[in-house]
Amino acid sequence: MGELAGRNLWSIPVPAPIAVASGRAADWARVRFKINPALSYEPPWLIANGDIADSSAAIEDLGTEFTELDMSLSDTVRWLHAAGPLSGREAGALAS
């Protein structure tokens, strides 16, 4: 995202087991305390488990073409900026 937006985005690498456990804890807190943390179990689990899906049959049978991740992310950030949730500073180069 930093490269796409032309910004230096701050991040900390987190080992997969810690990320997955944090997601589980957030899901528990969501139910127990009726809050909505910005984390859940599924995203870190999917990232930690890598390539677990094979879309080759869909591509072959349906002629489906998937959008490249960079294009999807860029389109999403542009839309979020145009709709208002992201400022020009947050969207960076994608705000134009």
pLDDT in tens, 14-35: 999 999 999 999 999 999 999 9
CA–CA dist 23, 14 (Å, integer): 12
Tell me the mean pLDDT in the region 43-47. Answer: 88
pLDDT tens figures, 67-96? 888 999 999 999 999 999 999 999 999 998
CA R_g for the chain? 17
User: Please, which pLDDT band fits residue 61 given cuts at 50, 70 and 90?
Assistant: very high
